Chains A and B, each alone.
Chain A
Amino acid sequence: MTTLNNGVEANITQTQPLWLLAEITYRCPLHCAFCYNPTDYADHTKNELNTDEWIKVLRDARKMGALQLGISGGEPLLRDDIEDIVTEANQLGYYSNLITSGVGLTEKRIDAFKAGGLDHIQLSMHDITEEISNFVTDTKTFKLKQKVAAMIKDRGYPMVLNVVIHRYNIGHIKEILEMAEKLGADYVELANTQYYGWSLINRNQLMPTKEQIDEAEKITNEFREYIGNKMKIFFVVPDYYAERPKKCMNGWGEVFMIVTANGDVLPCHSARVLPNIDFPNVKNYQLNEIWYDSSAFNKYRGDDWMKEPCRSCSEKENDLGGCRCQAYLLSGDAEGADPICTKSPHRHLIDQALEDSKNEILQAQPIIFRTDKNSKELIQGEHKERLKDFKAMP
């Protein structure tokens, strides 16, 4: 549930929240090891916005030009008002997308979504083997996902499969693509794990080697050649093996706006880890004030905030210095270059992580799954040894 920027026009001159992501609840029946939700999500599961508050958010964002709506979580289907929300979204002219694990998608609900005008459903899949799928999600959901995929297809929805790639499934890329073909997928996102939130704590256990990534990319390209236009495949290359960072979210406060379960508004999923920023809440401010005028949204807009090596870098337009959260989590400096960049004085942290990914002793440590219990323990300061390399709790 990571890549959103395929196909966004590159040269946007004036900021506009074209993409609205509603992280509608942090509650989730799954416990994925790579979940990008904040590790302290247990603190944010209270005070969820109610239906009317969400509808106001949709209306206000639409007035500001928002077009693509993602309804995600957690597992959005844990709320019983998704029907009302998609109906409203359709009336407002959004292209709406339900991002789900499939748990809770019944015939009755999918029919109501269809009637309400939901445009597509993005289903997360994990592997071809029941064992691994159930293992990384820490639940028995493999068979259910297969059933849900058939239901999505049956209702005439474009089928978008999102598969987060990590050490446990990277060896099965070909089989995963074949499974997608069999299910009739129209789009497949092979999203290599990005290391934020839970995936960062579990980085040593999840990160594949460079050779595995290269092999996976090669197989993907061959499969693309074979399948042609029938199934679009996105292979999202992981940051860590690159020399330059990505232009995170297409630029801070440029085109993406995330409204979280309790109404906080963020420019990217993990922005809450950053120090000295108060993210405004829709209960206290108008959405357009938040987007245009709040200090949070202006803090890293454009490039005025940069320092060296980014400030005088000839490539700064390409990546805007990369991801602020990654810079802060790994180096402790939120204004520094993203440590992915080989010009960053902190690049050695990435190289160390790549080394660590080959270390069998580190790999053998248990995965900390995304559960309420683990979240509460992390909030209370347990698991220190797993967090010592990170400057803020990921």
Chain B
Amino acid sequence: MTQKIELTDIYKIAPHHRFQWEEAQNCYVILFPEGMIKLNPSAGEILNLVDGKNSVENVVTLLKEKFKDAGDIEKDIISMFEFALNKAWISKE
């Protein structure tokens, strides 16, 4: 059931979910009832920009600026959005 991500879409962290940096684990985590997910560094960087204001396109631009040597990361970012949406970690603004 993959939903399509448009570059103009704006997402936020889904209700009842909390996204935060965890010093003790040295990574970002998502917390929700009965569960927690430790995010790998790139997923963490992406979700950190999912704030109900940035469009998907903005997120891509910002990360391209931040990681200049990373090459074409747009596809990876979009698939991360798809993944997060399917897991219901993020929802549309």
Binding site for B on A (CB under 8 A): 3-4, 6-9, 16, 18, 63-65, 67-68, 93, 95, 97, 119-120, 122, 158, 160, 186-187, 189, 229, 234
Question: Which of the residues B15, B16, B22, B34 comes within 8 Å of A67, measured between beta carbons?
Answer: B22
- A119-B18 contact, Cβ under 8 Å, with A63-B24, A64-B24, A67-B29: yes
Q: How far is the CB of B43 from chain A (nearest CB, A)?
A: 12
Chain B, interface size category, equals: 10 to 19
List B contacts of A187 (CB < 8 A).
33-34
Chain B binding surface SS class:
strand
Number of A-B contacts (CB under 8 A): 55
B36 x A95 contact (CB < 8 A): yes
A160 x B33 contact (CB < 8 A): yes
B31 x A67 contact (CB < 8 A): yes
Besides the known contacts A65-B25, A68-B31, A158-B16, 13 further A-B residue pairs in the complex with CB atoms under 8 A apart: A4-B34, A6-B34, A7-B32, A7-B36, A9-B37, A9-B38, A18-B36, A64-B24, A65-B22, A93-B20, A95-B31, A160-B34, A186-B33
Chain A binding surface SS class:
loop
Q: Mark B1-43, 1 if CB is under 8 A from A, else 0.
A: 0000000000000011010101011000101111111100000
A7 x B37 contact (CB < 8 A): yes
List B contacts of A122 (CB < 8 A).
33
B88 contacts chain A at the CB level, 8 A cutoff = yes
List A contacts of B36 (CB < 8 A).
7-9, 18, 67-68, 95
B22 x A97 contact (CB < 8 A): no
Q: How far is the CB of B2 from chain A (nearest CB, A)?
A: 13
Question: Which of the residues A16, A97, A158 comes within 8 Å of B24, measured between beta carbons?
Answer: A16
List A contacts of B25 (CB < 8 A).
16, 65
Cα distance A120–B15 in the bound complex, in angstroms: 12
List B contacts of A16 (CB < 8 A).
24-25
- A158-B88 contact, Cβ under 8 Å, with A65-B24, A95-B18, A119-B18: no
Question: Which of the residues A18, A95, A229 comes within 8 Å of B88, measured between beta carbons?
Answer: A229
A7 x B34 contact (CB < 8 A): yes
List B contacts of A158 (CB < 8 A).
15-16, 32-33
A8 x B29 contact (CB < 8 A): no
Q: Can you list 19 contacts pairing A with B, beta carbon distance less than 8 Å?
A: A6-B34, A7-B32, A8-B36, A9-B37, A9-B38, A18-B36, A64-B24, A65-B22, A65-B24, A67-B31, A93-B20, A95-B18, A95-B31, A119-B18, A119-B31, A158-B15, A158-B33, A189-B34, A234-B34
A97 to chain B: closest residue by CB: B33
B16 x A186 contact (CB < 8 A): yes
Cα distance A67–B32 in the bound complex, in angstroms: 11
B20 to chain A: closest residue by CB: A93
Cα distance A145–B38 in the bound complex, in angstroms: 34
Q: Mark B51-75, 1 if CB is under 8 A from A, else 0.
A: 0000000000000000000000000
Q: How far is the CB of B15 from chain A (nearest CB, A)?
A: 8
List A contacts of B34 (CB < 8 A).
3-4, 6-7, 97, 160, 187, 189, 234
Cα distance A225–B24 in the bound complex, in angstroms: 39
Cα distance A370–B33 in the bound complex, in angstroms: 28
Cα distance A97–B33 in the bound complex, in angstroms: 8
Cα distance A109–B31 in the bound complex, in angstroms: 24
List A contacts of B22 (CB < 8 A).
65, 67
Q: How far is the CB of B3 from chain A (nearest CB, A)?
A: 10
List B contacts of A97 (CB < 8 A).
33-34
Cα distance A95–B18 in the bound complex, in angstroms: 8
List A contacts of B32 (CB < 8 A).
7, 95, 158
